[in-house]
Amino acid sequence: MTHKERQCRELWGAIVRRRDRRCILSGETCRLEAHHIFFLSQRNWKIIFDPDYGVLLRKKHHDQAHGRAEEQEEVFERIIHIILQEDEQRALKILKYKNEPKKPQLVDPPFPIIYQRLKEQLNQIEQTAWMDEY
């Protein structure tokens, strides 16, 4: 992994953590990990670095999300059900990607552009964070 890719992944995780703050499945706030809803092995940088395709999970749930195929599907279904209730547009975006044919990415990601966009998103979240307190 290159330095730029690592920076992008760290920013992605920071956005997911700052946005969600608790496990989407249990509501708990300890032992949280940022989870890519779709596996990184798909190598689709358009979704890998899009925070809409990420959630916070407790370690226990994150392990299940990467466990046996049945567990993975069960966790996905629970996650998408919750997102559907909270943000229908985001849920439909996730489901659309899940159901479309996957194409390999042949072009290297433009990490400087991705980094800048993620940085802007994190700044936006932090500028409105004070509203979460009320």
The string of pLDDT tens digits covering residues 30-50 is 999 999 999 887 778 889 999
Q: Residue 4: which of 95, 130, 122, 109 has the closest Cα?
A: 109
Name the 3-class secondary structure at 101.
coil
Specify whether the CB–CB gap between 23 and 32 falls below 8 A.
Answer: yes
Q: What is the pTM of this model?
A: 0.89
The pLDDT of residue 52 is 97
